[in-house]
Structure 1
Amino acid sequence: MSAPAPQQELPRPGGFPEIRYKRYVPKIGPSGLVLFSGITLMCTLGLIRVGQGNLERRELEREKVWSRIHLIPMLQAEADRDTYRRELAAKEREAEIMKDVKGWKAGESVYNSDRYTTKSYVVVP
């Protein structure tokens, strides 16, 4: 006995329907070129603004430095007046406290030099 011959499967009459293997995504939004151009424009404008901000910040810093340079003499004069007033008040307090001690000279330097030295401590009244 012989085996029957194999029967081959064939497509149905009219064929099989087409297989959809592509994505059919509708075109929504701007194209890639438009997006790339927009991002490039935004980055360029941002860098320009950063550069302008750096220039303005540098100018403000220069102005602040020059204003401090011009204020230093006035502030130094004010500090000198304050120091003189405090030393005068300290000398008067010292004279009042030591008035009963014979030979005491108020305000006399404790150093063996004629050179002026500022006080290294703050006297709080």
Structure 2
Amino acid sequence: MTRQNVPSGSPYEAPIGFSRAVRLGNTVHVAGTGPIWPDGSCPEDPQVQASRCLEIALSALAEAGGAAADVVRTRMYLTDAEDWEPVGRAHGEIFGAIRPAATMVVVAGLLDPRWKIEIEVEAILGSS
């Protein structure tokens, strides 16, 4: 099987030694994705942050040959349990009909203290 690493250009990739996504066969794993904007900004709204995380993750998935319909699992790491509804709305806008297995976990903190959410995505290409 051929391995395809998909970089994102994140400043954390090289020093930590990871890729935004890795495709092996028909499986794609997208790393934990934070709400990073090109200009370095980070709006406070958790739904906006979740939408941005998903935008980045699905872009990496597309680069690996996949699409939202191929997603079979998501993991959402929240820093505040009260943000579950706006984060859930952002997730539902994309995955409402696809309905992957999903986990939402509250954590003590994320790499950037402005981040309220980080999302991982797993896909099996051709599973839709």
TM range (shorter): under 0.3
Q: TM-score, normalised by structure 2?
A: 0.20
Q: TM-score, normalised by structure 1?
A: 0.21
Between structures 1 and 2, the one with greater strand share: 2
Higher relative contact order (CA 8 A, sep 6+): 2
